[in-house]
Structure 1
Amino acid sequence: MKLVSTEAAVQEPRMRSRPLAATLILAGGLAALAIGIALSVSFGAADIRFAAVWEAILRYDADVTQHQIIQELRLPRVVGGAIIGASLAVAGAIMQGMTRNPLADSSLLGLHAGAGLAVALCFAFFPALPYMYVMLAPFLGAGAALTALFSALGEGISLYFNIGQDLAFWFAGGIAGIKRDQLEAVSPWIAAALIGAIALGRSITMLSLGEDIARGLGLRTGAVKAAGAAVVLVLAGAAVSVVGAVGFVGLLVRYAARRLVGVDYRWIISCSAVLGALLVVFADLAARMVDPPYETPTGAVIALLGVPFFLFLARKETKEL
C-alpha cells in the first residue's frame, strides 16, 4: 500500500484545485443563470415581452394581468427552481465529500424516500392540514436512509387511502406549483444551510482525503460529519418539501464541478450551487417546451440525463474495484 504523508495530503488539494477556472465558472454561471431566469419568466402558455417583465419587477401594477402572472406565478417558479437546484447540488457535493462515494446523492441514499413517506402520511391521515405544515413533514422524513422500506410503506399507504394521484404529482418532481409563501418559508433555512456548507468547505476537503488523514491533520471528524449531515438534511428536506422528488441533481453537478475546479470543496460547493441552479432552471424551461401548453415534470427531464449518467458512474466504479 502506498503511504501518503499528512504534509503531502495538505498540499494535494491546493495543487489540484483550479481557482481561476472556478472564478470563471462562477462568473459565467451567474450570467447564464440571469439569462435563463429572464427566458423562463418570459416563456410560457402566454409569452411575455422582456419589457413587460422589467415593468412587473420595477413598477408592479396589480391591475395588469401580465404583472400578476409574472409576480405570482413565474417569478416564484423560476427563483424557486434556482434555489432548489442550488440546494440539491450542494447537498450532493457534501454527501460525496464526506462519504468519498461518487454515487452519493440525496435521491439515491433514501432521503427522498423518507420524505415521500412523511408526505404520504400527511395526505392520508391529515388531509385538512395546511400546506405550510405539510412542508415540515419532509424535513423529518428526510432524516432516514432506508430507501426500499420507506418506498414500500409510502406506496402501500397511497394505495390503501387512494391518494395515489396526489403522491404521483409530488414524486414526479416539478417546480410549476411553487408559491411565494413557500419560498418565504424555506429560503431562510436554505440560506443558512448554504452558508454553513461553504464554511465547512475546507473541512470537507480534508475529510475527502480519508478519515485517518483528516484526523492526522487535527480535524474533529465526528463534529464535521454531524455538521455536514445537518446541512444536508436541511437542504434536501427544504428542497423536497417544495418541489417533490427531483433526483440526480447532486450526482450530475458535483461530478462536473469536481472535474472543472479540482478537489478543493470550497470551490466545489460554491460552483455546485451555481451549476445546480442552472441545471434546474434550464431543465424546467426544456420541460415546458416538450409538449406545450402541457407541463412535463422537471424531475423527468433531469432523470433523462441522470439515469444514464448514474449507470455510467456505477459501471466505472465497478471496473475500478
Structure 2
Amino acid sequence: MLTTAHPTADPPPTAAARRPRAARQALLLGLGLALLLLCLALSLALGSRSVPLPTVLRALLGTGRHDDPGVQVVTGLRVPRTVLGLVVGAALGAAGAVAQGATRNPLASPTTLGVNAGASFAVVTAIYALHLDQPVQYVWFAVAGAALAACAAHAMARRTGDLDPTRLALGGTVLAAVLTSWTSALMLASRRTLDEARFWLVGSLDGRGLDVLTPVLPLLLVGLLLALAVAPALNALALGDEAAQALGVPVARIRVAAGLAVVLLAAAAVAVAGPIAFVGLAAPHLCRVLLGDDHRLLLPGCLIGGPILLLTADVLGRLVVRPAELEVGIVTAFLGAPLLAVLARRATR
C-alpha cells in the first residue's frame, strides 16, 4: 500500500533552530512594550490641548501644581481615558485571538461573530425598557446579549456535528446585521433612548471615569485566565478536530471555554466603551505576522497589540479635526474596513 506525506508538513525545528526564533520573538515583544509605553505617553500628552511631557510626568507623580491647567487635563481627563483604552484594547485583542483560534477562521472577531451586536442590542433594549442612564448599569445586559449572540452564531455554523468556519463567519455577519437593524429601530422608536445610546454606540473612551471598570474587572480577569488556559489547546485545534482529539484534546470543552472567554472579554469591553470594531480582528493578524501561530505567544502579543491599535486610533481621532475630535469607534471603522476587505480576499483564495 502506498502512503504519501502531507505536502505542507515540515520537520520539527531543532533546538538550535528554535533558539534564534525565540530570541527574535522576545525582542519583538520587548519592542511592542516600548511602543505601548510611547502610545500611553502620547495619549496623555496630545489632544485638543497639547500638554508637555514634563507636565505629564509631574501630574503622574503628583508633584505638579493643582492650579496648573495642564495637570488638571492629564489627571482629570486623560488618565482615565488612557487606562480605559489600555484595558479595552487588551480585552478586544485577546478576544479576537481566541475567537480565530477556536473557530479556525481568520475573519473571526467579536464584531464578525455578532458578539458586539448582541451586546449592543441588549444594552439598547435595557435603556429603552428600563430607562438606564449610566454605563455602569449596562454590564450584565451586555454580557447576556453577547452570550446569546455567540450561541446563535455557533448554532448556525454547526453542520453534521462539526463547526463550519465559513458558515460561522456568514452566520455571525447576518446576525450582526439583523441585531443592528433591531437596535436602530428601538432608537428610532424612542427619542430618549436615541439620546442616551447614540454616544455609547459610536464607541468612545471619552467622558467615562475609572468607576466604569469596577463592575467589569471580574469579567475581564476570568476571561483572560480562560484565554490563557486554552491557548496551548488552540494550537492543537489548528490541526483540525480529529487531529486534536487524537492528541487527547477535549475539543468540545475547549471550544466552550474559549467561547466563554470571548464573550466575557468582548462584553466587558462593549459595556465600558461601546462596540468598537476591527481591533479584535486586526490585532491577532498583525501579531501573527510578527510572532507566528503559537497561541502561547500570540495571546500576550495581542494583549500588547490591541491597546497599541486602540490608543493610536484614539490619538488620531483627537488630532485630525482638532479642536473637535472623532470618536475612536469611527476611526477604527475607517481604518479597519480596508483590512477586512483584504483579509476576506485572502480567505477566499
TM over 0.5: yes
Partner of 1:120: 124
Q: Report the alpha carbon displacement of residue 199 of structure 1 after superposing the two structures with TM.
A: 2.4
Residues 198-213 of structure 1 aligned to structure 2 (within 5 Å): 198-213=228-243
Task: Please tell me whether the aligned partners of residues 122 and 129 of structure 1 are also in contact (alpha carbons under 8 angstroms).
Answer: no
Partner of 2:335: 305
Matched residue type, 2:221:
A
Q: Report the alpha carbon displacement of residue 137 of structure 1 after superposing the two structures with TM.
A: 1.5
Structure 1: stretches of 5+ with no match in the other structure? none
Partner of 1:175: 205
Structure 2: stretches of 5+ with no match in the other structure? 154-174
Q: Report the alpha carbon displacement of residue 312 of structure 1 after superposing the two structures with TM.
A: 1.2
Q: Report the alpha carbon displacement of residue 11 of structure 1 after superposing the two structures with TM.
A: 4.6
SS in 1 for 2:215: helix
CA distance in 2, matches of 1:296, 1:130: 22
CA distance in 2, matches of 1:49, 1:60: 15
Aligned pair in 2 of structure 1 residues 128, 224: CA closer, same or farther (>3 Å)? closer
How many residues in Structure 1 have an aligned counterpart in Structure 2? 316
Matched residue type, 1:198:
L
| Matching of residue 158 in structure 1 with residue 187 in structure 2 | yes
Partner of 2:274: 244
Residue of structure 1 aligned with 2:227, choices 194, 197, 217: 197
SS in 2 for 1:150: helix
Q: Report the alpha carbon displacement of residue 263 of structure 1 after superposing the two structures with TM.
A: 1.5
Task: Please tell me whether the aligned partners of residues 133 and 196 of structure 2 are also in contact (alpha carbons under 8 angstroms).
Answer: no
| Matching of residue 40 in structure 1 with residue 69 in structure 2 | no
Could you say what the CA RMSD is over the residues aligned between the two structures, in angstroms?
A: 2.6
| Matching of residue 295 in structure 1 with residue 298 in structure 2 | no
CA distance in 1, matches of 2:259, 2:348: 27
CA distance in 1, matches of 2:226, 2:10: 24
SS in 2 for 1:245: coil
Aligned pair in 2 of structure 1 residues 56, 227: CA closer, same or farther (>3 Å)? same
Aligned-residue identity in percent: 33
Aligned pair in 2 of structure 1 residues 130, 315: CA closer, same or farther (>3 Å)? closer
| Matching of residue 55 in structure 1 with residue 58 in structure 2 | yes
1:262-309 deviations in Å (ceiling 9; x for gaps): 111101111111011100011111110110111201122112221111
Residue of structure 2 aligned with 1:26, choices 22, 29, 38: 29
Matched residue type, 1:153:
W
Aligned pair in 2 of structure 1 residues 161, 66: CA closer, same or farther (>3 Å)? same
Matched residue type, 1:69:
V
| Matching of residue 316 in structure 1 with residue 346 in structure 2 | yes
| Deviation larger for 210-219 or 259-268 | 259-268
Q: Report the alpha carbon displacement of residue 164 of structure 1 after superposing the two structures with TM.
A: 2.7
Task: Please tell me whether the aligned partners of residues 43 and 315 of structure 2 are also in contact (alpha carbons under 8 angstroms).
Answer: yes
Partner of 2:99: 95
| Deviation larger for 33-42 or 51-60 | 51-60
User: TM-score with structure 2 length normalisation?
Assistant: 0.83
